Structures are given as C-alpha cells and as structure tokens.
Structure 1
C-alpha cells in the first residue's frame, strides 16, 4: 500500500515521504479508515451508549463470540446442517444475554455429508496443530486444486479462511490485498462448494468479533467438537 502511495505522490509532484507520513498519521488516528471499519467502530460505540441510556448491563462480548463459535461448530460437525451466512443482522441478543442468543434467517443453509464432516474435522485439527504438510494433504484429498500447487500459499489461504488472519498468515496485508496476492501467486482451480461455505461461516464470525477488537482462532474453538465427531465414529487422529 505504501508503495502505491509513494507512486501516486511522485506522479502528483509531491514529496513522497511527507505524503506517507501524513497517510500513516491518518491511519493511526482513524481519519483514513476503510468505510466498513469506520461504520463498525461507530456502531459499536452507539450500541454502548444505547445500553447505558436503557440501563442495560454491559453485554459480555467475548463470551458472546465464544458462544457463536461453539454453536456453529456444533451445526457443522454435530448436526451436519449449518447457516453459512451468520452476519450480525442474523444474531439477536435475548433478554438473558449471559446465556442466550437468537439466530435468525437461515437462508443459506447447507447440509454436509458425514464423509465431508469427517474430512473437515481432520482438517480443522491439523490447522489447530499448525501442521502445514497435513493441511495440504487433506485439502487435496477433499478435492481442492490450484494452478501451481504452492503448498505455502495454499496453507496460508486455508489458515486465513478457516482459522485466523494474523500477520504471520497475511504478511500484514489487508483482506483484499491478501486475497489478491494469493490469487496472483497460485490461482484456485477447484474447491468443494461445501468447503467454501464453511470458510465463509468461519470468516464472518471472526469479522464480527474483530468489530469489537476481539481476534479469534476458529480452529481452536472448533477443534474439540471436531475431535468429538471423530471419537464418536471410532476414528483416531
């Protein structure tokens, strides 16, 4: 991004170093936030103000995020029927916010076969272990293909969607820049639709948590439920 800013500054006849310094200061102070992040931040603040005006006790947001993670893990592995679109508008806070959450609008529901659930369970456990070789093996076994078969790139992509978006995965890139980098390095040729929808579910819950400054690892939260599925079917992994 800074390389782009420097190039644009030079083209406009401005001092690149000065423009970059101003750009970084704007990012630091929030003056140059992406619109989605800016809106999310102010929505979170508005929610806190509304709570206080209504005399409502503060909601334990970390616990709420953990609840959402656990619920969707159970949908995927235990039920084999899950909502692939758990955006904030589909989550309701009920009166007892310490224990209950309401989920609505199951318009993108996907049923998963037992074979797929078992394969996915192994993949999530391998991601939690950060076992790159095993993650790539399982991904290929599930039917995914990339043009250049670069294991390091594919591992980061799978980790990004199904586990976490820390700097060791993204290289400090933004969401869009990371996906553009991955597509340029090793374009995706084929992937099961079921896997794509699980990725979507995982990423949407984590993005909701990030709105409140909480960074989650999907694999860590889903691992116990994945292990329970394998144990139920007598599979040692």
Structure 2
C-alpha cells in the first residue's frame, strides 16, 4: 500500500514548477545516456539503460504520489502498457493501481448532502465508512438503501476539477516541448484529444447516462446475428448528480488479485477474450464505447460462469456512422493486407496521409492491430519496431533529401482525428491488459466478425448514391479523379454490373 499525503490544491504555480522540473531532469538524464553509450561496449548497454529506467521511474513515481490528480491516471495508464513501457516503470507504477489513501469522511458526507439534498442517515439504512476504493477523481463507499438494495456511492473529491484542468495544461506544455526537442516523439494529437475528453469524466450525470447506454447496447443477445453473446455485467444506475453517482453493488475480483483468480479457477484467457468481444461490439456495432479500459475498471464475478464486470464510463466516445463504417473497413483491410481498401478507409475517417509513401501508412495499422503477447515477448517486439523506425528515418532522409531532423519529423500520417486517438487508446489498453495477465490475444480473430457484420448491414441497405460502393482512394492525379466520376455516372445510370480498376504509376527520379 502506498502512502500519499493529503492533496494541497492551493499552490498551482508550485505544482507546475515541480512537473516541469522533473520532466527536464528525466529528459537530460536520457540524453546524457545516449551520448555515453557510444563509448560503452554493447554488452553493458542494456544494464546501463535498465539502471536509468529504474532511477527515473522512482523519480516520476515520487512526484505522482505527491501531486495526485491527473498524474495518478497517467501513471495508471503507463502501468498497463507492459507491451511498450520499460519493466522498471511497470513494476513501480503498478502501485498506483491500488486504492489511494481515503479522503476525510466529513468531506464525503458534506458532498453527498450538498448534491442529494439529504443526509446519509436519511438516505441509507447502512453506510460503510471505510471506502471500497479511492481513485484520482472520486472515492467509492458501499451502502444499503432504505428499501434493502445494496449499492455503491461514487463521491467526487472536493476541488479536483481545478487540479485536473491545471494538470492538463501542464501535460500539454510538456508534450509541446518534447515535440520541439525530439520531433520523432510528437504526441500532440494524443494530448489534444485527452484535453477535450478528460473534463467529461468530472460530470457524473454524463457518466450515468453513458452507463445506461452501454448497458442497453450490450444487454441483448446477438447470437442470431452470428456474433455470439457478449458475456459481461454492467451495474444498474440508481441515481446521479454532477458529483455523486449511486450504482448497483456487484461483488467481484480485481484483475490484479492473482491469488483470488487462482482460488476461484478463473480462466484468464477467456476473461480477456470476453472483454475484447465486448469492446468490439461497442466500437463496431454500437459506435459508442468506453475509452478507458484499464485494469481498475474491471471486476470478475465470483459466481460461475465467471464474467467481466465493466465499470466507469466517464470517458466514453460516440462515433458517427461514417466513422464506424470506416473503422470496420480499416480493420478488414488490415486483416487482408488490402492497401486500396485501407487508403479508402483512411480517407473516409479524415486521416490525412502522405500519399508519396503509402507503404509507410500501412505501418499505422500494423501497429494498431498486432496480436498481444506476454510482457517479455512484447518488449522484444518493441525493440524490433524501434530499430525499424530508425531504418525508415534513414530511408526517408535519402529518398526525400531531408535533413536528419526533418526526416524524424516525417510521419506517414499528417493528422489524426480525435476518434482515432481514443480508438487507438482502447486497443493499447486492451493490449496492455493482455500483457499484464500473461495471455495471448489475436484481435483480428475476435473483432473480425463484428466488423464484417457492420459492413454487411451497410451493403444490404443498397445506397442511393453509387459513389458509396466505389472505394474513395486518395486521388494521385486528375486522371484518377475523372475516372472515378465517370464510374459513378455509369453506375447511377445502371450501366455497371461490376467493376475492377487499377492505375499503375511509374515514379522516375531525374538525374541532376
């Protein structure tokens, strides 16, 4: 159990200076190590980097413990990414998955009375003062309603909104600085989307409505559609305000409770597959999904058949139908290695591509949909991907006559829509969950039926405009644009039974 001092909300400037100061210290430590390793034998480099990761992970954890707020959520996210984050960070940041020290009971009582208009004794037959859990935004207590129903009460921390919004500003500033100093690590699209979505988690009325929506969407059996039943539980919403949420109590096992998982005979492989299936349904069938599937947001029911219990729908994303179809197309195109369909889906979802290097754009989906592996194997995969990235930078530099810094800035994807950022976050968290539970999941096999179902439903509707069944590949020339318009015209006149077109480009480099 980690010991965290009570939050001090007042000194925002001091909080900001501590964050920036630590970011600079860690950055300079790694940059110095990059220079040192040039003079060290290869056999000793791994140990040198491990010591640096251990040193900086301790520094980061110490500040997270001191500051709490958004940084706890950030640390929790990193602790789930065993597939890409060094072992030292995973091992130390795992502590953040545990419940934080509780907030004062008087503060909890005051918030409940202010939000619900009644005292605890007037609303509950029994209220357990010891919290079930304390997280970065809220604290959860167990209680019994006057009618005998068992519930949990989620109570938002006093003053947390100010702190979260300030932390988002600080995180944005750090990402901007990193992108300037190290162009190949530009995470601005990710932090921008996080800044837009994270504040929504502070409104529990919104979370309540999201919970009801997902529960309705997953509550019906899809067996007759060939998708199989989505085997999950979601607590019923009893009551909500902006800062208080009352839910049905469900007794379950935490995913990081290895002893209980073994004692109850839980099939970890099946649990992760069921969770993945539930998210495939949310994304492709419903177009409405929880964007925060970290281990703390799941329980496993104790009674057989053991099923995942889905919690915390504060960060939830709604997809337009066009985006949902485009994601399904992208998924199947990646599965089939179909570059044409892939580029078409990218264009439909508003992904701006570097058309001069389409093979580099294919790497985006290779990363998104790669199979999960246990943590040790994932680290090996990550190293291979990093080495490939370095080779790509050199290739781009040579082919496009760029400086080294310009080549590092080169990205096959020029802009990511916000929907894709959250979608990628979900896949990354699920991948990290698989690594932490030491199971192997092939996303393509589990998610494919859901993507196919959505596209089949779209095709069966017989679109009114024929350009909906002609792949919208990015046009490289006027000839391609004119050809597409001609095919649409012929289709609208019912003069086409089927088409297949291929345009081949010859790229020449003139001698200077």
Q: Assess same fold via TM > 0.5.
A: yes
What is residue 346 of structure 2 aligned with on the other side? 139
Over aligned residue pairs, what C-alpha RMSD do you find? 3.9
1:1-237 equivalence runs, <5 A: 7-11=35-39, 15-20=40-45, 33-39=86-92, 47-51=257-261, 56-96=263-303, 98-146=305-353, 149-164=356-371, 172-173=384-385, 184-186=409-411, 188-235=413-460
SS at match of 2:312: coil
Q: 1:66 to 1:19 in 2, by over 3 A?
A: same
Deviation at 1:227, TM superposition (A): 0.8
Q: 1:195 to 1:110 in 2, by over 3 A?
A: same
Deviation at 1:216, TM superposition (A): 2.5
Deviates more, 1:135-144 or 1:160-169: 160-169
For 1:38 and 1:58, the matched residues in 2 are separated by 25
Q: 1:170 to 1:152 in 2, by over 3 A?
A: farther
Runs of 4 or more off by more than 6 Å in structure 1? 40-46, 165-169
For 1:75 and 1:45, the matched residues in 2 are separated by 21
Q: Which has the higher contact order (CA 8 A, sep 6+)?
A: 1
Deviation at 1:90, TM superposition (A): 0.8
Deviation at 1:85, TM superposition (A): 1.0
The question of whether the paired residues in 2 share the 8 Å contact of 1:6 and 1:17 is answered with: no
For 2:94 and 2:371, the matched residues in 1 are separated by 21
The structure with the larger Rg is 2
Q: 1:40 to 1:167 in 2, by over 3 A?
A: closer
For 1:134 and 1:170, the matched residues in 2 are separated by 27
In the superposition, the TM-score normalised over structure 2's length comes to 0.37
The question of whether the paired residues in 2 share the 8 Å contact of 1:149 and 1:186 is answered with: no
For 1:92 and 1:74, the matched residues in 2 are separated by 19
For 1:38 and 1:167, the matched residues in 2 are separated by 14
SS at match of 1:93: strand
SS at match of 2:289: strand
Q: 1:67 to 1:8 in 2, by over 3 A?
A: same
Q: 1:167 to 1:228 in 2, by over 3 A?
A: farther
SS at match of 2:299: strand
The question of whether the paired residues in 2 share the 8 Å contact of 1:118 and 1:230 is answered with: yes
SS at match of 2:459: coil
Q: 1:190 to 1:41 in 2, by over 3 A?
A: closer
Deviation at 1:188, TM superposition (A): 3.8
Count of residues in correspondence between the two structures: 220
The question of whether the paired residues in 2 share the 8 Å contact of 1:164 and 1:216 is answered with: yes
The question of whether the paired residues in 2 share the 8 Å contact of 1:60 and 1:98 is answered with: no
Deviates more, 1:56-65 or 1:38-47: 38-47
SS at match of 2:309: strand
Deviation at 1:45, TM superposition (A): 11
For 2:33 and 2:279, the matched residues in 1 are separated by 40
Deviation at 1:79, TM superposition (A): 1.6
Deviation at 1:142, TM superposition (A): 2.0
For 1:103 and 1:45, the matched residues in 2 are separated by 12
For 1:145 and 1:99, the matched residues in 2 are separated by 43
Deviation at 1:5, TM superposition (A): 6.8
SS at match of 2:384: coil
Deviation at 1:143, TM superposition (A): 1.3
The question of whether the paired residues in 2 share the 8 Å contact of 1:86 and 1:201 is answered with: yes
Q: 1:198 to 1:21 in 2, by over 3 A?
A: closer
The question of whether the paired residues in 1 share the 8 Å contact of 2:284 and 2:454 is answered with: yes
In the superposition, the TM-score normalised over structure 1's length comes to 0.73
The question of whether the paired residues in 2 share the 8 Å contact of 1:78 and 1:229 is answered with: yes
